[in-house]
Chains A and B, each alone.
Chain A
Amino acid sequence: MKFAIQVNSSPYQSQASATAYQFVETALRKGHQVVRVFFYHEGIYNGLHDAASADDDWSIARCWSALAKDHDIDLVLCISAAQQRGLPVAETAGHTGKAESNVAEGFHLAGLGQWVDAIITADRVVSFGG
């Protein structure tokens, strides 16, 4: 089964992004395909490089980065949602997908078109948080 995943909550706003991570990790482990994880609305805070808990023991961004590295999945931070929340985004980021230094490893910036592409390609669309 091919899944497209949308994450709409920030890491500390609710359980949603942790649940999304567990869902994606489990789906991959069970042999399913994850077409893309698209971070929208407050979900873009999942992909910030420097976000870490005070005692530095857990970071959802690091979990996502490790998952992207192990499974070669596509983690996309919505570029307009990121800009609206003050993430410094280069003019060219939408074309090159090149991450800024404060975007965690394995994430890249792209537009809503990437989300539509994922919706069209996937067998199932699952969104987390709202």
Chain B
Amino acid sequence: MNKNVLFIMRRAPHAGNHAHETLDAVMTVAAFDQSVRVLFVDDGVFQLKKDQDPAAIGLKHVAPWFQALRIYGVHELFVEAESLSERSLGEDDLSLPVQLLQRDQIAGLLGSQDVILTS
């Protein structure tokens, strides 16, 4: 059976290891031939910020991890436009091509999913 599964990322990079573990889950669900989409809202938009340099705190730049999603057939990455603008970010600050959604479009995306997982 094929289900539409949406993962919502709301946390900044390095807020625990949530990003890494959530990506593991995204890739596993995609590997089982489900239709996977990822939505970045709130501080989650920082996950995709390019030019991160967390070496000084001994951590890794997380944005490249998301490049691997293509290999798993996850092509639909959504970012809430207001989350970006509220953090003085624009589409150019992101390391991957995404689809921007306005806040009032989010409900439509959520309504079209079978399973929604937030982290």
CB within 8 Å for A125 and B34 given contacts A81-B21, A120-B1? no
Whether B118 contacts A119 by the Cβ 8 Å rule is: no
- Which interface class (under 10, 10 to 19, 20 to 34, 35 or more) fits B? 10 to 19
Tell me how far the C-beta of A14 lies from the nearest C-beta in chain B, rounded to whole angstroms. Answer: 13
Contact of B3 among A8, A119, A127 (CB under 8 A): A119
B119 at the interface (CB under 8 A from A): yes
Contact of B24 among A8, A112, A117 (CB under 8 A): A112
Whether B119 contacts A119 by the Cβ 8 Å rule is: no
Whether B32 contacts A116 by the Cβ 8 Å rule is: yes
Chain B residues with a Cβ under 8 A of chain A: 1, 3, 5, 10, 16-18, 21, 24-25, 28-29, 32, 34, 115-119
Chain A residues with a Cβ under 8 A of chain B: 6, 8, 40-42, 80-81, 84, 111-113, 115-117, 119-120, 125, 127, 130
Cβ contacts A to B, 14 pairs, < 8 Å: A40-B25, A81-B21, A84-B17, A84-B21, A112-B25, A113-B28, A113-B32, A115-B28, A117-B32, A120-B1, A120-B32, A127-B118, A130-B10, A130-B119
